[in-house]
Structures are given as C-alpha cells and as structure tokens.
Amino acid sequence: MNENIDNIDLEHYSKEGEFLEEYYKLNDFLACKETNQLLEYEHYNNYENQIEPQIIELYEFFKKNLDNNGIRIFNKDNGGSAIGELVSLIYNNLNKNYDLTLFYQNPELAQSLLEMDKK
C-alpha cells in the first residue's frame, strides 16, 4: 500500500517539476530570494566539494616541487594563507553555472517562487 502512495507522490512531483521547467527560466529563480539562495548554496557547495580540493592539491604539488628544485616563489606562504586567497580569487571569478534540476526534482523547494508569482 505504501508503494502506491510513493508512486502518487512521484507522479505529483514529476508534473510539478515539468511545470517549473516549462514555465520558469533561470532569471525567474534568481529573482526570488529563497530560490536564489538555494542556487547560490548549491553552486558554492559544488565548488567547495569538487573544485576546491583539486586547486589545493595542485597548489601543494607545485609548492612542493618548486621548493624541492630550489625555486622559492612560495617561501613566504608558510602558513598556507595564499591557498585561501587563491581559492577565493578563483571562486569569485567563476561564471556561475546553476543547475535547475534541483527544483525540477524537488518542486517543493520552489514554493516561494510560485507564491511570489501569484502576487
């Protein structure tokens, strides 16, 4: 019996998700404070979990190899503060690539957008 309820929920979300995809564009999600915040959070979270570790790994690789070869361009970065600055610099200059499937798969997250649109 729970299986039927789950299927009904999936159909409901699927239709609402399709509605959002058809009638709302990125600018609509960005214009709504709540959905904008979710998109920003997802963008930062993706950066922090996927890109930032690669930047840190690459930085540490170059720092170690250059130091081992007598090239001391990182010698003033004893505490690692430069890596934080580099990570921030890259993040602040990235083109943001928002993924709206978050809302298509979880249309309840766009409720504030739908309510804003009713007004």
Provide the whole-model pTM: 0.74
**Owner of token pair 């950066």:** 47
Return mean pLDDT, the chain.
84
d(CA 100, CA 102): 5
| Mean pLDDT value across residues 18-40 | 94
d(CA 44, CA 73): 29
Residues 6+ apart with CB under 8 A from 109: 35, 38, 102, 103
Higher per-residue pLDDT: 65 or 22: 22
Q: What is the pLDDT of residues 42-75, one digit of tens each?
A: 999 999 999 999 999 998 888 888 777 777 777 7
What are the boundaries of each domain within the chain?
Answer: 2-118
d(CA 84, CA 87): 5
